[in-house]
Amino acid sequence: MASISEVPDEPGQPPALSALSLAQTSQDSKAKEQIITPFDVSGGVDEHGKAVAIDYDKLIDRFGSQRIDKAILERFEKLTGKPPHRLLRRGMVFSHRDLNLILDKYEKGVPFFLYTGRGPSSDSMHVGHTIPFEFTKYLQDAFDVPLVIMLTDDEKFLHSPKLSLKECRRFALENALDIIAIGFDPKKTFIFADTEFIYSDDGAAFGFNILEMSKKTTNNQIKGTFGFNDTNNIGEFAFPATQSATSFASSFPFIFGHNLKAVNKIPCLIPCAIDQDPYFRQCRDNAPRLGLMKPALIHTVFLPSLRGSESKMSASDTDSSIFLSDTDNQIKKKVGKAFSGGQDTREEHERLGGRTAVDVPFQYLTFFLEDDEQLEHIRQQYESGKMQSGEMKATATKELQAYVWAFRERRKAVTPEIREEFMRPRQLIFKSMPSEKEQRAALEEERRVLQKRLVLVEGSLQRLQATGQAS
Ligand code: TRP
């Protein structure tokens, strides 16, 4: 009899990606399924060969996650005493796994921790990258919980034919500065780059969890979940265990303490863009087999590309994205050329009205404009043809300029010293952190180890001096 733990419990596991693409090519029609994986995001193509927007409802069905509904929004409001974030109110945070369990526990006084991350594939981040981070900051502030941010420089190195390890490590450090500028609380946030943390003394517990997870992960699982084949390198096959291991509080004893019985009860909530879901489906399948809790997830949509909502902003396609380093003038030029849902002529626009559903500048307003009433007013004006696309573009330009300007101001204040503090393994400050006694014991132990090491280093130095004198 198969034990319960061996049965994948995630309903609606998508078919293996390789099978999916075979099915596509066997059809005569021009239609193509949308592809959403951690490595590739593109909307589908209809039977006439026309690109269509990403269908998030379909994704929920295919991935087998849950929809964020009104009841959840009300729970957020009740638990935090604050109105839900605009991304929640407007459906850009649209899907979840086990969020209710996290909120149940939180309600009973059991705290959780947040985990999110970024793959540092270049040194320039765009405004689409900040969306899950903005939402994570709201969660950190609203629930007052610790947060770990993982920079997967190893992942980007393994997956990119071009990037060197050195480049990926540099991007991780560069990106950390941008991420800090989102406004995370230094007392509650630990940021780490894989290639630095995994191989350090403080990363040992994390390394052990990676090993445990690797042992439970088969090549078959990875092929099914990610569509890899035998031409993928073995590092790519192994990496998902690393992204998974961050979901467990026991990977961070300097934050959560050393009492494993207590630590293993701290649940994890992962805010991420929906393309990361395959990693965590995989993790959730295997976690119970290690006696560990499955992480809960909360998914955001992608910020549409300037070219249209069939694709997301992409750092490698500079005409698709507004970068955090863009000047006011660059933003104005780019939004001016963005895909518009306006009609071809002024008269037609007045007669038929603009199409907000496909209008990229309007989409950006839904992400960045805080005021619900103002947004609704703009929608009505545009759809009724009273507002022309030029005015829509000017409004979106202003809002994006203000967002990027505020980011730039905060970014100026982030020094390498501040980054060092965020990236130092250390005790974070939160409601149910380990007791002072436990912290003291751990620090005393660390001091003992360091002292012993110092004695050994000094011994080596003396020997070196002695041989130096002898020769
Ligand atoms: N794989 C992600 C990327 O390429 C980075 C990442 C690691 C991440 N852990 C995460 C993203 C958790 C969101 C949540 O961008």
Say if ligand 1 is within 6 A of residue 126 CB: no
3-state secondary structure the chain: CCCHHHCCCCCCCCCCHHHHHHHHHCCCCCCECCEEECCEEECCECCCCCECCCCHHHHHHHHCCEECCHHHHHHHHHHHCCCCCHHHHCCCEEEEECHHHHHHHHHCCCCCEEEEEECCCCCCCECCCHHHHHHHHHHHHHHCCCEEEEECHHHHHHHCCCCCHHHHHHHHHHHHHHHHCCCCCCCCEEEEEHHHHCCCHHHHHHHHHHHHHHHHCCHHHHHHHHCCCCCCCHHHHHHHHHHHHCCCHHHCHHHHCCCHHHHCCCCEEEEEEHHHHHHHHHHHHHHHHHCCCCCEEEEECCCEECCEEEEECCCCCHHHCCECCCCHHHHHHHHHCCCCCCCCCHHHHHHHCCCCCCCHHHHHHHHHCCCHHHHHHHHHHHHCCCCCHHHHHHHHHHHHHHHHHHHHHHHHCCCHHHHHHHCCCCCCCCCCCCCHHHHHHHHHHHHHHHHHHHHHHHHHHHHHHHHHHHC
Which atom of ligand 1 is nearest the CA belonging to 115?
Answer: 12
pLDDT value at residue 317: 83
How far, in Å, CA of 304 to CA of 52, rounded?
Answer: 12
Ligand 1 atom with least separation from CA of 273: 13
Tell which phi-psi region holds residue 46, choosing left (phi > 0), alpha (psi between -120 and 50) or beta.
beta
CA angle 388/390/392 to nearest 5° reads 75
Does the beta carbon of 276 sit less than 6 angstroms from any atom of ligand 1?
Answer: yes
Residue 189 φ then ψ, to 5°: -130, 130
- Atom 7 of ligand 1: nearest residue by CA position: 117
Q: Is the CB of 152 under 6 A from ligand 1?
A: yes
Q: What is the mean pLDDT of each run of 10 residues along the chain (471 residues)?
A: 41 44 54 91 89 92 95 94 94 97 94 97 94 97 96 98 97 98 98 97 97 98 96 98 98 96 96 97 97 98 92 86 96 96 95 96 97 98 97 98 97 98 97 93 94 97 84 56
- State residue 319's pLDDT score: 85
Pick the closest to residue 87 from 138, 142, 145, 143 (CA basis). 138
Task: Select from 36, 41, 116 the residue to mutate for testing ligand 1; criterion: most ligand atoms less than 8 Å from CB.
Answer: 116
pLDDT of amino acid 28:
56
Ligand 1: centre distance to CA 276 (Å): 6
Is 270 touching ligand 1 by the criterion CB < 6 Å? Answer: yes
Q: Cα-flanking dihedrals φ and ψ of residue 193, to 5°?
A: -100, 130
Residue type, 195: T
Contact call for residues 292 and 264 (beta carbons, < 8 A): yes
Give residue 160's pLDDT: 96
Query: Position of tokens 């050195």?
Result: 166
116 CB within 6 A, ligand 1: yes
Residues forming a β-bridge with 227: none
pTM comes to: 0.93
Nearest protein Cα to ligand 1, atom 8 = 117
Ligand 1 mutation pick, 40, 157, 163, 243, max ligand atoms within 8 A of CB = 243
Q: Is 136 a pocket residue for ligand 1 (Cβ < 6 Å)? A: no
Verify whether ligand 1 is closer than 6 Å to residue 150 (CB atom): yes
Q: What is the atom index within ligand 1 of the atom nearest the CA of 156?
A: 4
Q: How many residues does the chain have?
A: 471
Q: In whole angstroms, how far apart are CA 147 and each of 12, 13, 28, 443?
A: 30, 28, 49, 21
Q: Which of 363, 439, 419 is nearest to 178 (CA)?
A: 419
Residue 14 confidence (pLDDT) = 47
pLDDT given for residue 53 in this prediction: 87
From residue 96, give the alpha-carbon distance in Å to each of 100, 101, 270, 329: 9, 11, 9, 38
Rounded to whole angstroms, the Cα distance separating 59 from 276 reads 12
Distance CA 399, CA 405 (A): 10
